[in-house]
């Protein structure tokens, strides 16, 4: 029983970290209408940008800002030159090009940093014990940061002009354009913020473990799983999906062992698409 409770707590922590890139991915899907596979490369890039900033003396918050900015700018650039010109031909060519650009980023990081694992050099803290349950203060701190990021994102979506414009565009692009919302600006904002969140997500997950060029590729299916489970295009859905995937991944370790943890996202996607394609909180899937 304690094992299960511990797994659920760990799952809530990793779910909170996963929610950040999942919101980014799902928001981009809602506005730009293609699944952007370059999130794997962008998450890696964000993790390394944050790592580098942390290594030269930035605090965690400052490093996260660096990760956000670098990933956002690069993601926006790739969307402009490689993906969005192809969306006119359909979602698939853009999706295929995004796989290639993710690979480009991954290999640029590999050129610069090699294949070795790196860890953020954070001060070590002792676990807190509550009965048989262990809680690591650093993990709680990272989780708090992730929750704060989510709060800012949802506040921005709810109250700022550009946030409202993004939601309107995602809901009905023609009507939004008719009302004077400029679709180009909304698309650029979605690329920048979406990829920025993905980059921060890469760094948050790196803070929790370690990073290497395949960091992003490893979390890709979890991100997709969270977004599809919650309903592609729904930001609250991505958060719910991320927590569920996080918990399911931790519980799966108890049942089938850690090697198959990485398969949880895939099976979640397969089951959701078979049973309820629009996901838990999504609206359209056809």
**Distance between CA atoms of 45 and 109, rounded to whole angstroms?**
7
Q: How far is the CB of 220 from other proteins (least distance, A)?
A: 8
Q: How far is the CB of 78 from other proteins (least distance, A)?
A: 9
Considering the complex, state which of residue 54 and residue 241 has its C-beta at the smaller distance from other proteins.
241
Q: Where are the alpha helices (DSSP H) in the chain?
A: 2-32, 39-55, 60-78, 84-87, 91-113, 137-159, 161-171, 173-178, 183-208, 215-230, 235-256, 264-275
Q: How far is the CB of 109 from other proteins (least distance, A)?
A: 9
Considering the complex, state which of residue 16 and residue 264 has its C-beta at the smaller distance from other proteins.
264
Considering the complex, state which of residue 154 and residue 266 has its C-beta at the smaller distance from other proteins.
266
Neighbour tally for 172: CB within 10 Å: 11
Sign (positive or negative) of CA dihedral 273, 277, 278, 281:
negative
Considering the complex, state which of residue 146 and residue 233 has its C-beta at the smaller distance from other proteins.
233
Considering the complex, state which of residue 8 and residue 104 has its C-beta at the smaller distance from other proteins.
104
Q: How far is the CB of 17 from other proteins (least distance, A)?
A: 20
Considering the complex, state which of residue 47 and residue 149 has its C-beta at the smaller distance from other proteins.
47
Q: Which residue has the tokens 């921060």?
A: 200
Q: How far is the CB of 30 from other proteins (least distance, A)?
A: 13
Q: How far is the CB of 27 from other proteins (least distance, A)?
A: 16
**Distance between CA atoms of 220 and 273, rounded to whole angstroms?**
17
Name which of 189, 221, 195, 240 is nearest 31 in CA terms: 189
What residues line the site for other proteins (CB under 8 A)? 34-35, 37, 82, 85-86, 89-93, 95-97, 99-101, 103-104, 106-108, 110-111, 114-115, 217, 220-221, 224, 228, 259-260, 262-263, 265-266, 269-270, 273-274, 277, 285-286
Show Cβ contacts of residue 96 under 8 Å, excluding neighbours closer than 6 positions. Answer: none
């Amino acid at each position: 029983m304690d094992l299960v409770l511990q797994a659920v707590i760990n799952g809530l922590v990793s779910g909170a970290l996963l929610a950040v890139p999942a919101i980014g991915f799902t928001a981009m899907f809602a506005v730009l209408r293609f699944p952007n596979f370059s999130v794997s490369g962008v998450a890696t890039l964000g993790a390394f940008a944050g790592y580098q900033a942390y290594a030269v003396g930035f605090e965690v918050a400052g490093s996260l800002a660096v990760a956000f900015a670098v990933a956002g700018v690069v993601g926006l650039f790739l969307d402009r030159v490689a993906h969005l010109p192809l969306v006119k031909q359909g979602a698939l060519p853009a999706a295929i090009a995004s796989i290639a650009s993710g690979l480009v980023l991954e290999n640029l990081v590999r050129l610069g940093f090699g294949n070795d694992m790196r860890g953020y050099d954070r001060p070590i803290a002792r676990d807190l014990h509550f009965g048989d349950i262990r809680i690591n203060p650093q993990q709680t701190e990272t989780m708090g940061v992730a929750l704060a990021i989510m709060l800012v994102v949802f506040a921005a979506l709810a109250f700022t002009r550009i946030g409202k414009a993004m939601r309107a565009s995602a809901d009905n692009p023609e009507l939004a354009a008719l009302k004077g919302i400029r679709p180009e600006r909304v698309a650029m904002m979605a690329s920048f913020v979406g990829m920025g969140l993905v980059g921060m997500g890469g760094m948050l997950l790196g803070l929790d473990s370690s990073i290497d060029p395949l960091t992003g590729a490893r979390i890709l299916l979890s991100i997709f799983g969270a977004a599809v489970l919650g309903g592609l295009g729904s930001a609250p859905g991505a958060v719910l999906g991320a927590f569920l995937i996080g918990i399911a991944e931790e519980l799966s370790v108890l049942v089938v062992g850690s090697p198959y943890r990485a398969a949880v996202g895939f099976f979640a996607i397969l089951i959701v698409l078979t049973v309820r394609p629009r996901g838990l909180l999504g609206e359209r899937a056809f």
